[in-house]
Amino acid sequence: MEIYQLLPKTNCKICGESTCMAFAVALLGRKKNISECTPILEGDFKKQKEKLEALLLPSAGAEETGMIVHPEICTGCGNCVVACPVDVANDPKGAAIGCAPTNDKVIFRVVDGKVVASNIKECRRFGKNRVLCYACIDPCPTGAIEFV
Amino acid sequence: MATCPGCALLCDDIEVIVENNRIKETKNACRRGAARIKGCINRLEPKIAQKPSDIESAVRKAAEILGNAKSPMLFGWSNSTCEAQVKGIQLAKKLGAIIDDTSSFCQGLLIEKLLQKKFRTCTLEEVRNKADVLVYWGSDAQDSEPRHLSRFSYFPRGESRQRGYEEDRIAIAIDVRESNTAKICKGHFYRIQPKGDREFILALIDALSGKVPAYEPKKILELASILKKAEYGVIFAGIGLTYSIKDDFDILVALADKIPNFHIMPMVGHYNMRGFNENLFKETGFVNRVKFDGKVVHDNRYSIVEALREKSIDALLVAGSDPLSSLPRSLVRHLASIRVICIDPCVTMTSKIATVTIPCAVSGVESGGTAVRMDGKIIELSKIIESDYPTDEELLSRLMGAL
Ligand code: SF4
Ligand code: SF4
Ligand code: SF4
Ligand code: SF4
C-alpha cells in the first residue's frame, strides 16, 4: 500500500502491468524494477522515487522470505534480536539470554541504533520445513519488520 | 565493550568503532543510546554573561557568584558520574547550600523507601534468571529504557526461564494509555483512569485478601490470581505510579505485603539519578531536598520546584540536567531572574539563559567514572574517546578551590 501511494497512480501501463497497484505488488515481489515505471523517473516524481527506493532497499536480497525491515522506524530495542528462534538457537550464550550477539550467525543485530538483518535464509519462514513464525513481528513495538 | 550512558539500564555490552578519535559506529546500543554516544549536536562554550570566555575565568566567576549568594542551590546530577555527585555534595556542604536533583519531581520517593528497605527489591540479573510475572506499572519501559524488555525482563531466556517469554513469562501492563510496552503485554493490559492507581491497588488488595473488589471485579480477580501464582514476580514501578500515589505511598507497601513473591524495582530514566539518591542518602539519610545549614535539614521547600515557586534561592548551579526543558513555564520565570551557572557538555535550554556556562567532557563517552543502574548495581562507565574538556568532577573541584 505504501508503495502504491508513491507511484504515479495514472495506470498508464508503460511498466507492462495493467495498473499501478499491480505494479506495486510486482515491485514487492521483486518481479519488477522501479525503473520499469518510466513516468516516475521523470522530474516531478524524484522525491517519491527516492522514497520508494529507500522502502524497497532493505529487503533487497530477501525476496525468498519476503522480509522487509524499516530501519527508519526501528528504535533499536533489540526485542527481535532476542526473540527470533534462529538467534536463540545459533547464539545461546548471547542473543538468547538478552546479551549482545556473540557471533555472526544471528539474523538480527542492532547497528547505529537500528536493526540490520542478515543470514535471512536461516529464517524459519524459508526452506523445506518452513513455519509461519511471528517471533520478530509480534515483539516489535513499532512494526519495523514485515513479511510480504 | 563500552557502557551506554543513555538511560539507567547502563547497557555495558556496547561495541564502538572509533576512527581518528571519532565515533564511527555503535553496535547493540538502541537508537537513543547510539545518539547519546555520538555526543552533542551543539557543544557548549565557556561564557560569562553571554560573552565568550575561557573555562578558567568561567570557573572563577561561578565561584564568585556562589560565594556571594545568600541562598545558593546546586541542582541536577542525574546525568553526572557518582564521583561528580559526591563532589557536588561536598560543595553544597562547604557553601551551606541547598542540594536537590531531578528525582524530587520524579522517582525520589520510591527510591527513598527502597533505600529504607521498605520493599523487597531485586537485581536485573535476578529478573532475567528467575522472574515469571512482570508488571510494568505506570512505566513505558519500551520507550524510556528501550532495551529493558530485551536485555532483562521479558524476552531473554534465563536460568530458570529456559523456554523463553512465550511460555515462561507473563508480562502485564497497568497504565493510563496503551503504551508501546502495553502493546507487547497483549491480553494483559489493564487500563486505569488518570490518578486511578490508588483505587486499583485497593481493589487488588481486596482481591488478594479473598474479598470481591469494588472496582472491575472480574479483571481484578483475574489479575490477582496471576499475581498469586507467580513464583518470582517483579513490579516495575514507573513515574506514573509513583506520582499518582505519592501522598499515600504506604498502600504500595501494603500491596507488596500481600504478594510475598514480588519485588519492586524503580524504573529510572536518567542514567545516574539513582546514584545521586544513594550518594546523598549515604551522606545525609535523605535522597534529595537537603540544605546544609550547619546541620542537615530536609524539607520539601528545598525541592527545585518549591524553591523556584517561593523564589527562595538567589543562585543556582545546574550540572548534568536541563531543568528548563522539564519544569513548568511559571516556575521557569524565576530561573531567568537569578544567576544560573550551567555545567554541561552540550548547549541546553538552561545553558541558553545561564549567566555562566562551563563546558565539560561527555561522561561515559569522553570520561569514565561510575554510575548506579536502576536496580542499584554499580556500573563502570567508559572513556571511549579522548577530549580536552575537563570532567564535571574536575570542574567542581576547581570551583571549590576557587571559593
Ligand atoms: S508505468 Fe508507472 S504510472 Fe504507469 S501503470 Fe506502471 S506504475 Fe503506474
Ligand atoms: S520470522 Fe521467525 S525465524 Fe524468521 S526472522 Fe522472524 S523471528 Fe526469526
Ligand atoms: S523489535 Fe522492532 S524496533 Fe526493536 S530492534 Fe527489532 S525491528 Fe527495531
Ligand atoms: S537501553 Fe538505555 S543504556 Fe541501553 S543502549 Fe538504550 S539508552 Fe543505552
- pLDDT tens column, B98-136: 999 999 988 999 999 999 999 999 999 999 999 999 999
Domain ends where: B243, B266, B289?
A: B266
Residue B76 zone, left/alpha/beta (φ > 0; ψ -120 to 50; rest): left
Q: How many domains does chain B have?
A: 2
Output the pLDDT for position B292.
Answer: 96
Q: What does the alpha-carbon distance between residue B244 and residue B257 come to, in Å, rounded to a whole number?
A: 20
The residue in chain B having the minimum alpha-carbon distance to the alpha carbon of residue A113 is: B31
Q: Write the CATH number of the domain with boundaries A2-58.
A: 1.10.15.40
How many Å lie between the alpha carbon of B27 and the closest alpha carbon of chain A? 5
- Which has more confidence, A78 or A22? A78
Output the pLDDT for position A92.
Answer: 94
Which range (A46-55, B157-166, B264-273, B393-402) has the least confidence? A46-55
Q: How many Cβ contacts (< 8 angstroms) between chains A and B?
A: 97
pLDDT per position as a tens digit, B65-85: 999 999 999 999 999 999 999
User: B171 and B196 share a domain?
Assistant: yes
Q: Write the CATH number of the domain with boundaries A67-147.
A: 3.30.70
B390 Cβ partners below 8 Å, 6+ apart? B55, B360, B361, B398
User: B374 and B311 share a domain?
Assistant: yes
Q: Where are the domains of chain A?
A: 2-58, 67-147
pLDDT per position as a tens digit, B239-289: 999 989 988 889 999 999 999 999 999 999 999 999 999 999 999 999 999
E strand segments, B7-141: 15-19, 22-27, 47-48, 51-52, 72-76, 98-101, 133-137
User: B122 and B262 share a domain?
Assistant: yes
Range of the domain at B176: 108-266
DSSP structure class, residue A32? S
Q: Which residues of A touch B27 (CB under 8 A)?
A: 100, 109-111
Does some domain include residue B17? no
- CATH number for position B145: 3.40.228.10
Q: DSSP string of B160-179? A: TBTTHHHHH-EEEEEESS--
B327 pLDDT exceeds 60? yes
The percentage of chain B sitting over the pLDDT mark of 90, rounded to a whole number, equals: 90
pLDDT per position as a tens digit, A28-75: 766 777 878 888 877 677 778 777 776 765 544 455 668 889 999 999
**Does A139 contact chain B (CB < 8 Å)?**
yes
H or E segment to which residue B358 belongs: strand B356-359
Output the pLDDT for position A61.
Answer: 47
Nearest to A117 by CA among A93, A144, A92, A143: A144
Q: Which residues of A touch B1 (CB under 8 A)?
A: 100
Q: Rounded mean pLDDT of chain A?
A: 85
Output the pLDDT for position A8.
Answer: 84
B209 pLDDT exceeds 80? yes
B231 pLDDT exceeds 70? yes
Output the pLDDT for position B331.
Answer: 85
User: B137 and B249 share a domain?
Assistant: yes
Does some domain include residue B56? yes
DSSP structure class, residue B185? T
User: B69 and B157 share a domain?
Assistant: no
pLDDT per position as a tens digit, A82-101: 999 999 999 999 999 999 99
Contact A74 B31 (CB under 8 A): yes
Residue B77: what are its φ and ψ, rounded to 5°? 75, -10
Using CB distances shorter than 6 Å, the residues near ligand 4 are: B 4, 6-7, 9-11, 29-30, 32-33, 145-147
Per-residue cell: A11 = 495506470
Q: A59 with A68: CB under 8 angstroms? A: yes
Output the pLDDT for position B44.
Answer: 97
User: B128 and B258 share a domain?
Assistant: yes
Output the pLDDT for position A60.
Answer: 47
Does some domain include residue B19? no
Q: A49 with A34: CB under 8 angstroms? A: yes
How many Å lie between the alpha carbon of A49 and the closest alpha carbon of chain B? 27
User: B228 and B284 share a domain?
Assistant: no
How many Å lie between the alpha carbon of A106 and the closest alpha carbon of chain B? 13
